[in-house]
Structures are given as structure tokens and as C-alpha cells.
Amino acid sequence: MMTIDGKQVAEKVLAECAEEIKALAAAGVTPGLAVVLVGEDPASQVYVSSKVKKCGEMGLHSRKIVLAADATQEELMAVVRELNADPAIHGILVQSPPPPHIDEDAVVRAIDPRKDVDGFHPENVAKLVLEDPSGFVPCTPAGCMRLIAESGISTVGAEAVVVGRSMIVGKPMAHLLVAKGSDATVTIAHSRTRDLAAVCRRADILIAAVGRPEMITADFVKDGAVVIDVGINRVKDESRKSGYRLTGDVAFEEVAPKCRAITPVPGGVGPMTIALLMSNTIKAAKLANG
């Protein structure tokens, strides 16, 4: 059984990014990323800070914009319009989820698709489906594909099952797996799938992206499968100083012995998401500067 080290692969991606940043600097271009946060959700604050910190480490220009939790839709849209027009900003990310009164879909559609480094704008979704490389692929599924490739695992002809159908992970993940070159046979499963465990047991490659702690148990996994755990869940743990521990959607201890390869949580998919965000921001800067 191989534990896939997301930190190690993320460092490789960031080293590639550093070379591209050097080349852009020589041409007088500094990639710029703006991260917008509405409200003071603690988990979102941690995510935003880690993204801004990584920009600083990589030598990217970054802007962190924090709006009050009661900021209106129009106030947020005005910020997006300002960033769309700012030539120093190549990537715009509005931290999800915003407060309930914000129409997130309208915000995503307002972002210039050439600056949509999250890959959620309808134009980038269409480019993903059409396999047009000029679009932006959502960072987490792109990171999963890189982890699979770097681990020497071939997806060609493999039966892949994606548990979860969100636009953030599940659906784009399925498109990447079925695309030319990946050539997997893909099933998208979800909470209403009949006999979910039996469907998952067919998988040579199982992607767990459902957001339920340790839902995927040994009964869901066939011997020799590759398991990619996208979930990051906080569960209460009185033995920890923080009062909680992080766990994935996969019950790691019981599933790992059955696997050919598996990602841990933390330290698996998580580091890849920020690395691919840096990569997408650099791509946006390159496209903007011809």
C-alpha cells in the first residue's frame, strides 16, 4: 500500500511555478491574485490567509479584501467589477461559501472568465467539457489528477467512481477522468445512488468528495483500488487541545490496508489545491500578457 504524499507533489508543482514566475519577471510581469472574503467565518479566514501567505512566499502580488458579514450583494459585485478592471490582478477568488444572503452564482458569473482562477464561471465549465486548454480547471480536481499521475497510476481504461456531484469537485473530476488522454470509464455516484457501496466496489479509482466524515468504509473498497480522499471534515475530539481533529470522507485506518494507493487527510489533496491555485494565477497572467 502506497500513501500518496500531497505535500511532496505540491512542492514539485510550486517549484515549476517558481520557474514560470522567474520567466514572467524577466518580461516585467508579476502575476496578481485577489482573494475576497465576506464575513468572519473562522475556517474561511484560515483558507484565505493560507492563500495570501503562499502568494507572498512565491513572489506573487496579492490583495486580500474582507467585507463585513452584512455586506450587500451590490457591494460585493462592485468589488468584483473593480478587480475585473485592475490590470495588476490576473486572478480573482471569492471565498466560498459566502453568507446566505449572497447569491453566489451571480458573483461567479460576474467574474471575468479570464480571471476566474477557481474555474467556476460557465465559460470555463464549458471549456472543461469541450477539452479546451485555454480555460481554467477547478483547483481541487486538477490537483487530484496530478496526484494520480505523479504516483504512476494510469487512468486509461480504468473504472473510476466519483462520489459527489458538486460543481466544485465531483462533476469537474468526472470530466477530467473521462477526457481524451485520461480515458477512464466514469460513474458519478451520490447520496441517492442505490447500493452505493456496491457501486464503489467496482472502482479501480475511487474519488471520495461527499463531505461526510469517514463515510467510505472498507465495505466500499475493492482490493487493490486507488482511493483519493477529497474530504476535509472537523470532528469533535476531546483528546486534542483544539477540541477537534481533521478527517476525510474515508475511514483511513480500515480502508488503507485494502488499497494499492490512498491519500491521507490532512496532507493529501489539501496542499495540491493551493499549489494549483498558484499555477492557475500564473496561467492567467501569461494569457493576459500574450
Query: Could you tell me which residues come within 8 angstroms of residue 53 by beta carbon, excluding any fewer than 6 positions away?
Result: none
127 is an active site residue: no
Burial of 246 (C-beta count, 10 Å sphere; 0-12/13-18/19+): middle
CB-hemisphere CA count at 13 Å for 23?
Answer: 11
3-state secondary structure at position 259: strand
Catalytic residue among 112, 116, 118, 204, which? 118
95 is an active site residue: yes
168 to each of 27, 139, 165, 257, how far by Cα in Å?
34, 9, 8, 29
Burial of 99 (C-beta count, 10 Å sphere; 0-12/13-18/19+): middle
Q: Which three cell numbers stand for residue 139?
A: 483547483
Catalytic residue among 54, 95, 116, 229, which? 95
Looking at residue 101, its amino acid is H
Q: Which residues are catalytic?
A: 51, 95, 118
